[in-house]
Amino acid sequence: MGSLHGLIPFCLVLVLVLSSNHLIAKAHKNSTNQIKVEADFKIIAELAGKNAIPNADFKGLAKLALTKAISNGNAIYHRVNSLLLKTSDMYTTRSLTGCSTNYKDAVGLINKSLAALDAKNYDDAKTCITDALANSTKCEDRFEELLQRNSPFTFMKAKFDLLCLSGLKHINLLVQKERLITEGCSQTLDKELCKSTVVFFLENKGLRLQGIAKLAVKKALQDGTRIHNHISVLLKTTSDQCVLKKLKSCSAFYLTAIEKIKESLPALDCNRYGDASTWVGAAIDSAETCEGVFAGKSNTISPLTPMKIEFSKQVSISLVVIKKLAGN
C-alpha cells in the first residue's frame, strides 16, 4: 500500500462528506454518527492509499478520440465518393459503392456512441464503436474479394481504427473508475453524495483546501445562476397563473441564494470560515424553500428539481470543505 501522508487532508475532508446523508436537506448540521464516519474513512483511505482511483478524465479522452474518428471517417467517406466519380470499372465501382455505405454507417455509429457515452450507456457506446470498426473492415474486404488488392484507404482506415480503439480503451477505463468509486461508497451513508464528492476531489487533486473551497463555492454559484436564468425563461413561456406565481417566488429565493454564495467568497478570502459556512448554508435553505413552494398541499414536483439536486450537492461539498478549514 502506498503512503497516505500526502492524502490526509483529502481523506479527512471525505470523512466529513461521507458522514453527511442529511447535507442535501440541512447541509450545515453536524454529523450524528461518528462510528459510521470511521468506517467510511477506512474504506476511502485504503482506496486513496493504493492510488486505486485514477483522476484522469477518461470520458473526455474517449470523446476526443471518437470526435477525431468521426472527422477521419468523414474524410474517408468523401474520398470514396470522389473516386466513384472518376472510375468506370465495374468491380471498382461496386467496391467503392460498398465502401461509401460502410463509412457512412461507421460515422453514424460513432455519433451514436458519443450520445450513449453522455447518457452513461457504456455497453451501447462500446457496441457502436465495435460495429463501426467492423464497417471499416468490410470496405477492405470488398477490395480484397473483388479486386485482389488493398483499398486506396488502407492507411486512412488504420488511423480511423486506432482512434476508435482509443475511444474503447478510455471507456473501459471510465467504467473501471466508476466501479471503484461505487464500490468504495457502497457502505456510506449517502452513496450518491459520496460518489459526486470523490469525483470532485479527484478532479481537483493537488489543490490546497482553500483552493478547493473557493472552486466548490464558485461552481455552486454557477449552478445557482443557471437555475435562476432557467426560471427567467420559464417565466416568459409559462401561461399557468398558479405556476407563474410559484416561479416568481422561486426566482426571489434563488436570487437570495446567489447573493449569499457571493458573500461567502470574500469571507473565505479573509479566513472567516464561520461566516462563509453561514452564507453557503443559507443558500441551500433558499433552494429548499423553493421546492416547498412547488410542493404545497398538492405535493407538486418542481420543474427545477433535477437542477436543484445538482446545486444542493455542490453546495454540500462547499460546506464540507469550509467546515474542514474552520477546524484546522
Residue ranges of domains in the chain = 58-185, 189-326
Q: Report whether CATH 1.20.140.40 matches the domain 189-326.
A: yes
Residue 226: which of 291, 309, 292, 155 has the closest Cα?
Answer: 309
Instruction: Give the pLDDT score at 209.
Output: 76
Instruction: Give the pLDDT score at 123.
Output: 97
pLDDT in tens, 221-271: 999 999 999 999 999 998 888 888 888 998 999 999 999 999 999 999 999
Lowest mean pLDDT among 48-62, 69-83, 228-242, 283-297: 48-62
Instruction: Give the pLDDT score at 323.
Output: 75
Give yes or no on whether 58-185 and 189-326 have one common fold: yes
- Residue 19 binned pLDDT confidence (cut-offs 50, 70, 90): very low
The chain-wide mean pLDDT, for the chain, equals 82
Cα dihedral value 107, 113, 118, 120, nearest 10 = 180
The residue with greater pLDDT, 84 or 47, is 84
Q: Compute the distance between CA of residue 285 and CA of residue 254 in angstroms, rounded to an integer.
A: 10
Question: Which residue bears the cell 457512412?
Answer: 104
**Spatial contact of 136 and 158, defined as CB atoms under 8 Å apart:** no
The residue with greater pLDDT, 110 or 276, is 110
Contacts by 155-159, CB closer than 8 A, 24 or more apart: 156/72, 156/75, 156/76, 156/79, 157/76, 159/72
The residue with greater pLDDT, 34 or 115, is 115
Instruction: Give the pLDDT score at 297.
Output: 61
**Spatial contact of 173 and 57, defined as CB atoms under 8 Å apart:** no
CATH class, domain 58-185, is mainly alpha
**Spatial contact of 117 and 62, defined as CB atoms under 8 Å apart:** yes
Q: State CA 117 to chain mean position distance.
A: 10
Name the H helices within the chain.
8-18, 23-26, 34-49, 58-84, 90-118, 122-147, 154-185, 191-203, 209-237, 241-269, 273-295, 305-327
Please tell me the pTM assigned to this model.
0.70
The backbone region for 51, taken as left when phi is positive above 0, alpha when psi lies in -120 to 50, beta otherwise, is left
pLDDT in tens, 233-242: 999 998 888 8
The residue with greater pLDDT, 146 or 166, is 166
pLDDT in tens, 32-48: 444 444 455 455 545 54
Mean pLDDT value of segment 89-116: 94
